[in-house]
Each structure stands twice: as C-alpha cells, then as structure tokens.
Amino acid sequence: MALISASRKDPAAPSQDPPPSRPRLLTRLRRKRFSTQTLLVGGAVIVVGYLAVVPLGYLIHDTFLDADGSGVSFDAFSRAYGGNSQSGDMLLNSLWFALGSAALALILGTTLAYIQVRTDTPFKSLFFAASLVPLIVPGILYSTSWIFLGDPQSGLLNALLFKPLTGTSPVNIYSVWGMIWVQGLHLSPVAFLLMVAAFRAMDPSLEESAAMSGASRLTVLRRITVPLVRPALISAALLMFVQSLESFEVPALLGLQNGIYVF
C-alpha cells in the first residue's frame, strides 16, 4: 500500500510538463494570409495618412520655424498680420460672425429637431426633408439667392414689400447681421441632424414622468431635456463655430461689398 501511494502524483502539485510552444510573432505573420480587404484598407490608411500628415508638417514648419529650420520663430505671424492695421477689426468681425452664425444655427436646428422628434406634427417626413434643403445647396448659390432677396437697392424684399408700405429699404444683406443670417440658415440643417440624433437617443419616459408629476412643459424642458442633450448642444455649437470661421462664400459675397473683412 505504501508503494502504491508513493507512486501516485499529488493532484495539487504543479505540473512539471513544459508549456506548449507558441509560434513567434514573425512566424504567425508569415503564416497569416492577408485578404484583399485588409490590403485595401491598409493602403487607404497609408494614402490618407500621407495626404493629411505631410501638409500638416509643412504648415507647422513654415509657421513656427525659421526658413532654414534652425530654430523656433514667429516671424510668419508678424509678416501676415503685423503690417495690417485692420487686423484687430478683422479678428472682431470673425469672432462676431462665427458666434452669431453658430448661435442662430443651433437655435433653429434644435427647435426643428425638437418639433420633429418630440411632437406629433403632421407630415413629419416632408418636414424632415424640407429641413435639409439648405444643406444640399452650395454656399455660393445660397448666398447669391439672398443677394437677390436682400440687396438694399434691387432686392425683392425691399422692392416688393417694404418700399410700397413704408417707402424705405431697411433690409441690407451686405452687413454683419446679413452675413450671420445667411450663414446661420445654411448651417442649421447640420445642427438639426445632430440634435435629432440626440433627442432620439434620449429616454422619453423621463419627460413623461415629469409631466405626469405636474411639471410644466417649460420646467420639463429646463430641468430634464436641456441637461440631457447638453453634450450634443456643446458639440454642435463647436462644430458650427468652426465651420463659420472657415467659411469663405458668405464673407466674400456679402462682406466685401460693404468693406467687412474677416480672417
């Protein structure tokens, strides 16, 4: 009995067998066959990365380095803006134009998205399609159409509406307010799409519970709806602000006519 018990292995004792051999990384890579999809995706990543990184590298080099690349320099900023006496006005115009356009686009887009998702408005499909019309119109054509409407001399709004009634032409599309109006309307579909997704991702039972508890529509909107969609509001506002800063069509067609310059 002692001989038999001594020859048995303790099940709790660690095994002395060597671990199974694992193929090395290079061996696995050699054995792995790359599919056509992997090659196409990898090639696309390389091409897009090259097209994005190389221009950015040249931009950083020419902006923050000397011409010979020997050290850090800010001469590019002084050459671009130092000799221009209107740089301050251009900066203020750019910020005012971007902030106003972003605010208008966000207000319009959020209001339309709330009506689309949270109300029982009829013809929702038609309403949704009509809200996206400014998005598919190029910026130059959109600005030109508002020139035909809001020109202080020959615009249809002044010629057909205000002059016959008041004898004046109050609408002037060649102003900062006109630029904000046109840019805000043109960007409102983007804010609309972002906020529609945010409202649809919300749980409507929270608003329904608050309404059943006696909260008014304004209280529900202020205490529940707005806090829940605040991240989407901030994201949409930042996107509208950046798109307004980089806009070219509206400042070129409307601002230059009245000496309003932006960066």
For 233-262, write each residue's pLDDT tens digit.
999 999 999 999 999 999 999 998 888 888
Task: Show Cβ contacts of residue 247 under 8 Å, excluding neighbours closer than 6 positions.
Answer: 101, 139, 183
What is the average per-residue pLDDT within 183-208?
Answer: 91
Whether the predicted pLDDT of 112 surpasses 80: yes
Quote the pLDDT of residue 4: 46
* pTM of the complete model: 0.74
Q: Note the maximum CA span of the chain.
A: 122
Three-state secondary-structure class, residue 164: helix
Whether the predicted pLDDT of 220 surpasses 80: yes
Domain(s) labelled CATH 1.10.3720.10 in the chain stretch across 85-258
- Of the chain, the end-to-end C-alpha distance in Å amounts to 96
Q: pLDDT grade, residue 180 (50/70/90)? A: very high
Q: pLDDT grade, residue 59 (50/70/90)? A: confident
What is the average per-residue pLDDT within 46-62?
Answer: 87
Q: pLDDT grade, residue 90 (50/70/90)? A: confident
φ, ψ dihedrals at 128, nearest 5°: -65, -45
Torsion, CA 63, CA 69, CA 75, CA 79, rounded to 10 = -70
What is the average per-residue pLDDT within 26-33?
Answer: 57
What is the average per-residue pLDDT within 89-96?
Answer: 90
- Angle (deg, nearest 10), helices 124-131 and 87-118: 170
Q: Which range is least confidently modeled, 45-59, 74-88, 139-153, 216-230?
A: 74-88
Q: Give, for 231, the enclosing helix (H) or strand (E).
A: helix 226-245
What is the average per-residue pLDDT within 80-103?
Answer: 85
What is the average per-residue pLDDT within 201-207?
Answer: 87
Q: pLDDT grade, residue 36 (50/70/90)? A: confident
The CB density around residue 17, as the number of other CB atoms within 10 Å, is: 6
CA distance 178 to 255: 9
The size of the chain, in residues, is: 263
Q: pLDDT grade, residue 86 (50/70/90)? A: confident
CA distance 171 to 149: 9
CA distance 243 to 209: 38
Whether the predicted pLDDT of 212 surpasses 80: yes
Whether the predicted pLDDT of 72 surpasses 60: yes
Write down the architecture of domain 85-258 according to CATH: Orthogonal Bundle (1.10)
Radius of gyration from C-alpha coordinates of the chain? 31
Cα–Cα distance list, 185 to 41, 52, 109, 191 (Å)? 37, 30, 9, 10
Quick one: which of 96, 81, 122, 114 has its CA closest to 195? 114
Residue with tokens 């090395």: 24
